[in-house]
Structure 1
Amino acid sequence: MKVEVLDHANLMQAAEFIAKMNILPECHIGYLGTSQNDIFQSLEEMNRDAESAAFIVREGDALAGFLGADADLNKGTAELWGPFGQENELMGLLWEKALHFFEGKLHTYFLFADTANHDAAEFASKNGFMLQSAQTYMELKDNSFNGLRKVSLLPIHCHSAFIRLHDALFPQTYYSGKEIIERMNDYYKVYTSLDADGLNGYLYAEYNREEKEGSIEFIGVDPCKRKNGIGRNLLEMAVHDLFVNSGANSIKLCAGTANEKALSIYKKAGFTVERSLNFYKFDIRE
């Protein structure tokens, strides 16, 4: 079977193929949505991104396999959208194509798959991916918090303190403190908690206007200031702002399954568990 690079003419067919699979726990990949429209928009963005690429396998006129690589050439990393396929052989072909395509440009690949996706687990095991952590995906579909909330956003004079705190708490994550500051706008916000000593905690959230969906990306609290309710206050602030001021219909987040304290806080805030996922990493250098 021949593996092809996905082009613009095949985006809708690919979105339809992925949507039928990604809604199923046994096929689900965490970097993509489950609606065909969401997936199509993601594929359009990937198609416009000169650094990234996607690959397909056909059986006649129908798609039989798909794998996308959302790449960051500066970091040498990529998030894998897939592999999706009905046979392990197809997954292997797609992976070989991706490795060859990005040879010399990428060194690390990330895979985020539902715990029920045993094909992804087998693919990861066969190809040298290492399980990094188990993650719990949660969602809040109504505003559980009543009353007004004062919204405190990151002031300019706290930028350096934020970068230090974020990079110390999350030293090897997908956005550095500097990158988050560069992303900040009316829809990508850093909510903050301040005291006499300065910044003691923050929450970074993003809002998708088209989908009316908020996502909480990071919550960080100064280790010396924990157990004072800072995280919960930040969560209440962000949830209120996303629902009331931005107009979100839902808010999602992902937390480490082993972090029982954080999961308890989110559940008390009204978040419900939607999926459990495994996070894998493949590093050519290791």
Structure 2
Amino acid sequence: MKSCDGRTVGDLSGEVVELGGGVSSFKPGDKVIAMSFPKCGGLAEYAVAPASLTVARPPEVSAAEGASLPAAAGTALQQLKTAGVRFDGSAAGPKNMLVTAASGGVGHYAVQLAKLAGMHVTATCGARNLAFVHGLGADEVLDYKTPEGAALRSPSGKKYDAVAHCAPAAPWSVFKAALADTGGVVVDVTPGVAATVTSFLQKLTFSKKKLVPLILMPKKEEMEWLVDMAKQGKLKTTIDSKYPLSRAEEAWAKSMEGHATGKIIVEIAATE
């Protein structure tokens, strides 16, 4: 695939140049979105992506938006599904959700997806992004630096059935106090050793309140669904900033700071 558009590190949005043996679902010149999983080699003019993780990019979805969807939106979707959230219009599944780091790459998708599923969403973020996260659809937004935000305390006093944890590690005691008395689940995209141990012990004791470390397993059908949601305007991508390939190191450094609002994109100019 030749990149003539935007991409994140392992997510690609570009044009098919050449096909591998046995691939018949695409042709040279097709505009596609792909994930170079598990090698995550995206920062190059040409990249190889498996057909099993490549989908068509419709004209309604820009290259930058497309390059943002596979890993970030895919992680948010799998977080919610792991927590029992359903997108079939049924009343089953959790009702109240907390999304931490809700202004970030994964978090800003998690808020939107939770609202698509009909959930009441409380979210945490920095003070400068409170209005932005409200604009994503969150019902309640907390500044994570305030006492209420640090305690994950809903302004309306709600307890959470599910938590999409997109922020750095936090003590389990904080989550435990915030979850519903009947039980709940915290799906953690940044699990450390402590979280893994906690999860293991909870399984042994059949705890009603659970912490689940998430391991992203990309799926083509989920990528297609996310692209369709974006095409319909139901899932929007916020671009924090764009960098040319020559400044990819700066883009990576900004990403590692953890304060981007939405996604950071590296672009490669099209060539004839």
Q: Which structure's CA Rg is the greater one?
A: 1
Structure 1-normalised TM-score?
Answer: 0.29
* TM-score relative to the length of structure 2: 0.30
Q: Which structure's residues are more often strand, by fraction?
A: 1
